[in-house]
Structure formats: C-alpha cells, structure tokens
Amino acid sequence: NKNPGSQTAPRLLSIQERAKLKQLQHLLSHGDTVDMAALRKIGVQTGFIIKEVRSQAWTKLFSVNPWTDGEAYRALALKDQVPLSPESEQIRRDVCRSFRSTKGPQKNNYTAQLWRVLNYTLVEYPQLCYLQGLHDVASIVLVVCGEVPGQQVFGKILNSYIRKFLAQTVTPLMEVLVLIAPLVTNEDPELADHIEGIFPQCHFALSWILTLYTHELDCDMDQACRVLDFLFCSHPMMSLYLAAAIILLDRETLLQMGGEFTELHAHLQHLPERLTPRQWEAAIAKAVQLFDAHAPKKICKQARVVHDLRSPFFNYPYPWAVPAVQPTDNWLQAKACSQLMLIKGKKANGSTKKTTNQQQTTSPQQKSAKSTCTTLVRRKNTSLTQNGNKTVRKPKKPAVDMSASDLFMLFSVCTISAAIATLSVVAFEPTFRHAWKN
C-alpha cells in the first residue's frame, strides 16, 4: 500500500514476520492486561506488520478504548456537526492535498473524515496551534485506526510527541533541532566538520520532526507506518536520534559533496524519500544505538538546551503509557495489600497520627492474625529459583511494613467474614437436613 487510502494487494509476509505476527496476536489477546514493555519492544524491532494488528497496538499504546472513548465526537460526526477550528481555512487546503492516489467515493469519504478529525481536535485542545503538515500524521492514523479511535489517538499524539512544536511560531521546533548536531559530532567528528555549514540549526529536518517523517513518506504508507511504529514505542526525542542516524548512514555521499549550505540542504531535505526499507531498518537500529550511548539529558546539556521535565517532549513515559499491572490470582493478597496501601497513604497525608506514649496490647487472636498476614506478605514477596534439583525461594524487599493497627484491621475483616459464613450455615441447616432425608 503506497498511499493512505489506496487499495493494493497486500504484500507477502516472510517466515520471520509471520512468527512475529503470531506473537503480537497472542500478546494483544490479553485484553486490558497487555504487556506494554513487550509490545513496545516488538514495535521497535519489527513494527506491527499489518493494519489490523497495528490498529490494536496503537490504541493500546495511547490508552484508547475504541469501543467507549470518543462518544462526544461520534455523536457530532454522525450528524456532521463538528465545530470548525479557527485554523479551518488552512486545514481545508491541507485536506484537499491528502489521499492523492485515492479516487472516487472512497477519497471523498476519507477527506470528509480527515476534515472532521482535524477541526474537532483543534477545537478540543484550543491551546494547540495548527501547523501545516499535521494532516500527514492525521491521515495515516485515520486510515489505520478508523475515524473515532483515530481522532482519540491523534489527540494523544498532539499532546505528547509533537506538543512542544504546536506554538504560534516555529521557534520551539528550531530550539529542538539544534540537538541533532551534537549527536552527529559525538559519533563522527569528521563528518560533522565537513557539513558544519548546516549546523547547528538543521533547517532541513524541520518537517521530519514536526510530521514524524510522514510528510516525506506520504507516498509510501507501509514505510510511514513502520516509522510511526518505532517512534510511538520510543522516547519523544527518538525522532531526533533517527534524524542523526539518517545523516550518519549517508556519510559517504555527504563527504563527496561540497560543504556549501545550499547543496547540502537540498540533498538532506529529501534524503528520507530516497531510503529503501533496508536502509530505514539500518537507520532505526542506529538510532537505538545512539539513544543508548547518548542520553537525552546529556545531549541537552551539550547543546545548552534546557531539559525541562514539565515539557511533554522530555517527560516520558506518559502517565497513560505506564505498563498495565497483571492481576494477582490470590484475591486475599490483593485485598490485604490494597487495604494496607490505603492505610499507609492516609498516614502519609496526616489523617492518622500516632503518639509515642500510646501503647497497644496484643491479644492471642491478634498475634495469630499477625503471623498469618506476615506469612502472606512473605509468600507474595518471594520468587522461585531453581538450584540444582531443589526449589529455593529468593526473598525480595518487602513491599509494605506491617503495623499492629494494620494487622488488627485485617483480623477484623477476616473475623467478620467467618461470622457471616457461620450464620449462613446455621440459617440453612434445616434445608440441608430435609434434603439429606429425601
């Protein structure tokens, strides 16, 4: 598929891709308890391969429920009453340039959906400014996820990966582009000296970063989706590392060129369009290597850029992207630990106070409850390791501290539950006897 919305025969998958696809389908079949770390790892390594799996993966990555989220937008879209953004005129021009290879009713359908998504999202987030090129990102998200889930995902993208750039001017974007130069300099000083005429501003990469490379790949849907898979599973600054990787991999060509600004700028500006899928995979691998070798904070310090943790461009992972916690099989462990964490939180807020002069007496029943709960916590905070033919429990650091009041509350809950069970048996005893005689 070489363009969003166009209909072409799907490519044949390799054996490795089919194996990875099976792994992805198994991973996404766990509902709300998807292993997000494993999902991001696959997104970086190979991408999500096909549209159906990619749609599920993107909604999971951005914590969007395609069945329940976006009800307000759905109601307005069905009536075609989506409010217009103050940027609607520029949006109209950009929408007319979208889906160029799609013809007939399908193009009209996609352009109408794109028009609604862009206007509604800009109205929903009035603090964001529309910049030319955002329609490239929105059109791919729309085709992959559908209109309503796509609008929700697109809103998350605007408020995270490219939030810093959506200002009245391109100044915030230009401040970020200077981070590309130190990455190239640290890896290849000779190349950096040869192309120093385009440093440190790197104007050629403006649309790369703003549109997450979708503007350069607007005629290659498959490759654009592969790049977005990688970026959505990575730190927001990874788009800068990818830009540096693309420059470094074009080393031989750049060294043969002159050092004039015009020549270098014209060559680099369209460089992503000329990369083959194999070269893109090499660039992604190189970007990961650069990220591991040069942390974002280090690069910001080297380029004298403020590493503001309040900015979505530096604050990662996002709150809605925290990996899901797998539910425990033991309901008693879950109940006890949640109750203890609630009590601990109240103490931290000052809602419960202890005095040093107050002493508590512990009854035999409370001692028994303390022993039971201590065993429960120890059992939860240990993991099994194989040592020869023996199974040894490896202790971990306790997650919570057990106090006398905590144990008393837990004992009270257990006592009440036991009493209710006893009364139930007594109440239904005649019924049981009658059934036994019959």
- Measure the CA–CA gap between 219 and 213, rounded to whole angstroms: 12
Question: By CB neighbour count within 10 A (0-12 exposed, 13-18 middle, 19+ buried), where does 233 fall?
Answer: buried
Q: Are 410 and 334 in contact (CB under 8 A)?
A: no
Q: How high is the pLDDT of residue 405?
A: 60
The whole-angstrom distance between residue 181's C-alpha and the CA centroid of its chain comes to 27
Q: Is 330 helix (H, G, I), strand (E, B) or coil?
A: coil
Q: What is the pTM of this model?
A: 0.72
Between the alpha carbon of residue 275 and those of residues 181, 207, 342, 359, 393, the distances in Å are: 21, 16, 54, 74, 52
Q: How high is the pLDDT of residue 100?
A: 83
Q: How high is the pLDDT of residue 357?
A: 43
pLDDT averaged per 10 residues, the chain (length 438): 55 84 90 88 93 94 91 92 93 92 86 96 94 94 96 94 88 89 92 81 90 92 95 95 96 86 87 94 97 92 80 75 43 43 52 44 48 45 44 47 61 74 65 53
The candidate with the shortest Cα–Cα distance to 276, out of 250, 255, 302, is 250
Residue 353, sorted as left (phi over 0), alpha (psi -120 to 50) or beta, turns out to be beta
Q: How high is the pLDDT of residue 400?
A: 47
The candidate with the shortest Cα–Cα distance to 368, out of 334, 331, 415, is 415
Q: How high is the pLDDT of residue 345?
A: 54
**Does the bond joining 317 to the residue before it have cis omega, within 30 degrees of 0?**
yes
Q: How high is the pLDDT of residue 335?
A: 42
Q: What are 384's strand-pairing partners?
A: 393
Q: How high is the pLDDT of residue 9?
A: 54
- Measure the CA–CA gap between 123 and 72, rounded to whole angstroms: 13
- Measure the CA–CA gap between 214 and 209, rounded to whole angstroms: 9
Q: How high is the pLDDT of residue 387?
A: 44
Block residue for tokens 């964490």:
341
Consecutive H or E run containing 192? helix 189-194
Q: How high is the pLDDT of residue 311?
A: 79
- Measure the CA–CA gap between 49 and 41, rounded to whole angstroms: 14
